Amino acid sequence: QKEVEQNSGPLSVPEGAIASLNCTYSDRGSQSFFWYRQYSGKSPELIMFIYSNGDKEDGRFTAQLNKASQYVSLLIRDSQPSDSATYLCAVNMNRDDKIIFGKGTRLHILP
């Protein structure tokens, strides 16, 4: 199993709908989880971070963490064309205290 796994996409979502991005990780002891957005040709930009099981909401974004099932997800409500980007999941691996990035999911919001 890859350490941090994301579906590469592209994930196409109609404007105004909810986009759901998923990420699974291998290290059950992982403590910190991050979502970054990366536009083409630009650097990653932090969207959300979550440390505890459950949901964390920030505006149109909600991060969901389930440590028992080893997945973290990002929900984007009321999707806008400007949300079209690659979304990177990053996990702090507990066993050797390093951070691993997934390869990203390309999201395309259809106008």
- Of positions 15, 28, 39, 46, contacts another protein by CB under 8 A: 46
Which one, 13 or 89, has the nearer CB to another protein? 89
Distance CA 61, CA 74 (A): 7
Distance CA 75, CA 79 (A): 10
Q: Answer yes or no whether residue 97 interacts with another protein by CB under 8 A.
A: yes
- Of positions 27, 70, 101, 106, contacts another protein by CB under 8 A: 101
Cis omega (within 30 of 0) for bond into 44: no
Q: Which stretch binds another protein (CB under 8 A): 15-23, 54-62, 65-73, 91-99?
A: 91-99
Distance CA 60, CA 78 (A): 7
Which one, 78 or 94, has the nearer CB to another protein? 94
Q: How many residues bind to another protein according to rule CB under 8 A?
A: 20
**Using an 8 Å Cβ cutoff, are 38 and 46 in contact?**
no
97's CB contacts (< 8 A; 6+ apart) are none
Distance CA 17, CA 13 (A): 7
- Of positions 12, 14, 28, 31, contacts another protein by CB under 8 A: 31
Provide the binding-site residues for another protein, judged by CB under 8 A: 31-32, 34, 36, 42-46, 49, 88, 90, 92, 97-99, 101-104
